[in-house]
Amino acid sequence: MEKIEKQSLYIVSTPIGNLEDITFRAIYILKNVDLILCEDTRVSKTLFRYYDIQTAYQSYHEHTQDKDVSLIIEKIKQGLTVALISDAGTPLISDPGYELIKHASKHQIRLIPIGGSSAVLHALVASQLPPYPFYFGGFFPRKQAKQEALLESLIELDATLIFYEAPLRVKKTLSVLFDVLGDRQVTLARELTKKFETFYYIKLNNFNSIDIQEKGEYVILIHGFQTEEKPLDQDVFSMYESFISQGIHKNEAMKLIGKKYHQSKNTVYAYIKTKGASDDN
Ligand code: SAM
């Protein structure tokens, strides 16, 4: 059996719903370390009972004070073997743990991730949206100004956008998404791995016609920016001449025009050539 490493911190993923979504290795580690750090000990007790895990545990969460974090680090350095878990899924992913990891790495403590469930990946692979690149933003911001600023910064990102959201806020969030991003394909992944697991595959412009449950846990996934090609037209010539008269090199001018029309530089070049623009520069 695997040797439990000293001077190390195991970061162990636990289920996000279905209690059987956990690896054999994770259970082995949780049974054999000296101490488990839990986000909320009451929540983790269900898992411990299910798998007969009798290891000592204590709480570690976002309010754990620096002096207690230092104590944990000290214990690990002295040889205590420790695993970190959160209430559900992968620690650190919109869950506590990053502070501890920063302290641990400063003290040359080895980090050993034990993978498993995370709502973001469950949702992504069944979302029918391009699986990569993707942008994961954690919880969608609460304040409208922050929501809009964030979405504006992401508007041209060609990556599937993923956020966690509370059930009562999902509809309002869809409306903000529509206002800022326009009509895009969206997937809502609800209650993953649980009895009422549901995927809603929708277009933002008609989300109001869909009966979206306001209960359960949600992941929202949004199609990334898609460039829509605009057909090249007469304006290309005046734009081209104007760039050239400004001293811009013809290659650069065609690139700039291509950007405007979401067409390649070569397509612009072919258009200008066949329609007879001057090519003197
Ligand atoms: N660490 C977890 C992970 O790896 O996914 C996430 C913890 S975060 C505090 C909780 C949020 O994750 C929920 O509000 C929801 O947005 C999302 N989430 C967690 N479990 C979920 C599930 N079973 N189905 C859908 N979303 C879930």
pLDDT tens per residue across span 241-258: 999 999 999 988 988 888
CATH at 203: 3.30.950.10
Number of alpha carbons in the 13 Å side-chain half-sphere of residue 39 = 21
Contact call for residues 140 and 173 (beta carbons, < 8 A) = yes
Q: Euclidean distance between the first and final Cα of the chain, in Å? A: 73
CA distance 104 to 74: 10
For the range 65-74, what are the long-range contacts, defined as Cβ-Cβ under 8 Å and sequence gap of 24 or more?
A: 69/99, 69/100, 69/103, 70/103, 72/37, 72/100, 73/103, 73/104, 73/107, 73/109
pLDDT at 277: 46
Mean pLDDT of the 188-204 span: 97
Q: What percent of the chain has pLDDT over 70?
A: 98
pLDDT tens digit string along 156-180?
899 999 999 999 999 999 999 999 9
Q: Which of 55, 87, 117 is the last residue of a domain?
A: 117
What atom in ligand 1 is closest to the CA of residue 139? 16
Among 65, 97, 117, which residue terminates a domain? 117
Query: 17: Cβ below 6 Å to ligand 1?
Result: yes
Domain count, the chain: 3
Mutate-to-test residue for ligand 1 from 164, 199, 220, highest number of ligand atoms within 8 A of CB: 164
Residue 95 in contact with ligand 1 by CB distance below 6 A = yes
More confident residue, 259 or 173: 173
- Closest atom of ligand 1 relative to the 190 alpha carbon: 25
pTM value is 0.84
The answer to whether residues 44 and 57 touch, using CB atoms and an 8 Å cutoff, is yes
CA 208/CA 213 separation, integer angstroms: 12
State the average pLDDT over residues 212-225.
96
186 lines ligand 1 (CB under 6 A): no
Q: How far is ligand 1, taken at its centre, from the CA of residue 191, in Å?
A: 9
Is residue 239 in a domain?
A: yes
Q: Which of 129, 137, 140 is nearest to 202 (CA)?
A: 129
- For residue 256, how far is its CA from the centre of ligand 1 (angstroms)? 43
Residues 69 and 25 in one domain: yes
**Residues 21 and 51 grouped into a single domain:** yes
Residues 127, 66 share a domain: no
User: Is residue 85 a part of any domain in this protein?
Assistant: yes
Ligand 1 atom at minimum distance from 197 CA: 24
Q: Is the CB of 27 under 6 A from ligand 1?
A: no
What is the predicted pLDDT for the residue at 274?
85
pLDDT at residue 279 in the model: 46
Residue 22 inside a domain? The answer is: yes
Judged by average pLDDT, the poorest of 14-23, 70-79, 177-186, 213-222 is 177-186
- With beta carbons less than 8 A apart as the criterion, state whether 12 and 91 touch: yes
Residue 16 lies in a domain: yes
Say how many Å lie between the CA of residue 175 and the centre of ligand 1.
Answer: 22
Q: Are residues 140 and 186 in the same domain?
A: yes
Closest CA to 38 of 71, 84, 98: 84
Provide the pLDDT for residue 261: 78
**Diameter over CA atoms, the chain:** 81
Tokens 């209960």 correspond to: 215
Asked if residue 125 and residue 109 are part of one domain, the reply reads no
Whether residue 14 has its Cβ less than 6 Å from ligand 1: no
Mutate to test the pocket of ligand 1, among 212, 218, 221 (most ligand atoms within 8 A of CB): 218
Task: Give burial (CB, 10 Å; 0-12/13-18/19+) of 16.
Answer: buried
Residues 88 and 28 occupy one common structural domain? yes
Distance CA 31, CA 272 (A): 70
Residues 128, 90 within the same domain: no
Residue 70 has pLDDT above 70, yes or no: yes
Cβ 94 under 6 angstroms from ligand 1: yes
Please indicate, yes or no, if residue 228 is contained in any of the structural domains. Answer: no
Exposure string of 232-252, with b = 16+ CB inside 10 Å and e = fewer, is beeebbebbeebbeeebebee
Lowest-pLDDT range of 114-123, 189-198, 225-234: 225-234
Residue 259 to residue 13: CA distance in whole angstroms = 44
Is the same domain home to 149 and 66?
no
How high is the mean pLDDT of the chain?
Answer: 93
Q: How far is the CA of 89 from the centre of ligand 1 (A)?
A: 7
* pLDDT of res. 280: 46
The last residue of one of the domains, among 117, 134, 151, is 117
The range of the structural domain enclosing residue 68 comes to: 8-117
Task: Answer whether residue 48 is part of any domain.
Answer: yes
